[in-house]
Structure 1
């Protein structure tokens, strides 16, 4: 009889994880093989061109570079701050003795035991913690770019290729942190039952698909020319 209380959680929640992370694995494969068919690959190619242009004409565009990177740091800082604040709030809820979730026991599907309730909150907490870590590392790399992008071009060590790689590491970590932050939404809805988790994951995957891929004529761009550069 205990399985009847848990079967929805055991089926729908892992399935939602598989859908969400399976989509991102497929997206990663597309970025590696057909970068210009995705927004991520196209933006990465544009950033490499931007770094090369800035470093070639550094005397005229150094202020532009600093201002642009400063805005990037501010965005990552905002996401990192939001993630750690949500972690603090969830930690307070988990450690609190106030039983705010008891009225939900008879109104939602799935398991309602103390272990399952704690698991739901801890899962969301872990996702926010990893999101905070990724955004913090992103700030670290982009801060290095902020110094190196103004180095003279005649130096053999600090080249535009090296600076581009650092910038791409920063944006990759930023993207991973954002996706972990997004994945916390379906898991937060797990508090109200596993059915909302699968519905939210399907909806979010559909929305992200339309945001991550280029359609129409832009998809026919010269993919093979930059396939080895991403």
Structure 2
């Protein structure tokens, strides 16, 4: 049997995809069963507490929380636009006849027109999945803003937590789709770079997704004497408004305000 370089696409590419898919299935199992061992579970735990604390203040004072969610929407918008632009570029590239660059002799693998079409379609699918995921992240984050900015209403905390967590899940799915697209992008240059990228990506993601920090049970700080703080602030303001009273009281050793 004569070995042909086209066999590498049949062997290395499925193995690389199985490595990536198997790792993400294992990560999904950890997120569902042992969330404290993953960074995703750790971040979702912090998000739930953050939502709970933010809903304890008045709606008119939640500007900071709305700004945080708006930042997530802006980032998701940028990534969604980038994914759509790359998808359009790949679609235009498939329909053109300028793809002879990737049929050169330096590519050790199958360079037939049908295999090149499979590469482009797979890459296009990953970017479209990323685009849809970031759109859903924007949708969930916008719904969370609507809930958190609702005045004079007893909004259930679980409603806002669900919207925020759902947005973070779609954000993670969009990023994972981009990771897959990176591997498939290297497949254009041959199955060997794609396989090496798959193994390297899994090793890096395993280190980044593993959490060793124990989940902290956030507790509110001890109540301060707000009445004394308010009286001191009021005294200072009256001193600024009536400085002549402060000057007159210097000789007595005490300051009479007002």
Normalising by structure 1, what TM-score?
0.88
Q: Structure 2 vs 1, CA of residues 79 and 204 (structure 1 numbering), >3 Å: closer, same or farther?
A: same
Q: Structure 2 vs 1, CA of residues 55 and 127 (structure 1 numbering), >3 Å: closer, same or farther?
A: same
Deviations 1:159-211 (A, max 9, x none): 11111011111110110011101110110111111001110011111111111
Query: 1:206 aligns to what?
Result: 203
Stretches of structure 2 that go unaligned for 5 or more consecutive residues are: 218-258
Query: 2:90 aligns to what?
Result: 90
Deviations 1:78-112 (A, max 9, x none): 1101100101111111111224425x431121111
Equivalent of 2:168 in 168, 171, 175 = 171
Query: 1:111 aligns to what?
Result: 110
Query: 1:41 aligns to what?
Result: 41
- Is the Cα contact below 8 Å between 1:56 and 1:153 reproduced in 2? no
Query: 1:150 aligns to what?
Result: 149
- Is the Cα contact below 8 Å between 2:126 and 2:177 reproduced in 1? yes
Q: What is the deviation of 1:154?
A: 5.0
Q: Structure 2 vs 1, CA of residues 194 and 109 (structure 1 numbering), >3 Å: closer, same or farther?
A: same
Instruction: Look up the SS of the partner of 1:44 in the other structure.
Output: helix
User: Of Structure 1 and Structure 2, which has the larger fraction of its residues in helix?
Assistant: 1
TM superposition outliers: structure 1 runs of 4+ over 6 Å? none
Instruction: Look up the SS of the partner of 2:150 in the other structure.
Output: coil
Q: What is the deviation of 1:58?
A: 2.9
Query: 1:10 aligns to what?
Result: 10
Output the aligned Cα RMSD.
2.0
Is the counterpart of residue 183 in structure 1 residue 180 in structure 2? yes
Q: What is the deviation of 1:66?
A: 1.1
Larger radius of gyration: 2
User: When the two structures are aligned, how many residues end up with a matched partner?
Assistant: 217
Higher relative contact order, structure no. (Cα contacts within 8 Å, ≥ 6 residues apart): 1
CA distance in 2, matches of 1:56, 1:165: 17
List aligned pairs for 1:46-57, cutoff 5 A. Answer: 46-57=46-57
Q: Which moved more, 1:72-81 or 1:6-15?
A: 6-15
CA distance in 2, matches of 1:2, 1:57: 73
Deviations 1:24-68 (A, max 9, x none): 111111111221111110110100001111111134641011100
Query: 1:141 aligns to what?
Result: 140
CA distance in 2, matches of 1:75, 1:26: 27
Instruction: Look up the SS of the partner of 2:140 in the other structure.
Output: helix
CA distance in 2, matches of 1:91, 1:3: 33
Stretches of structure 1 that go unaligned for 5 or more consecutive residues are: 224-230
Q: Which moved more, 1:167-176 or 1:93-102?
A: 93-102
Normalising by structure 2, what TM-score?
0.79
Query: 1:78 aligns to what?
Result: 78
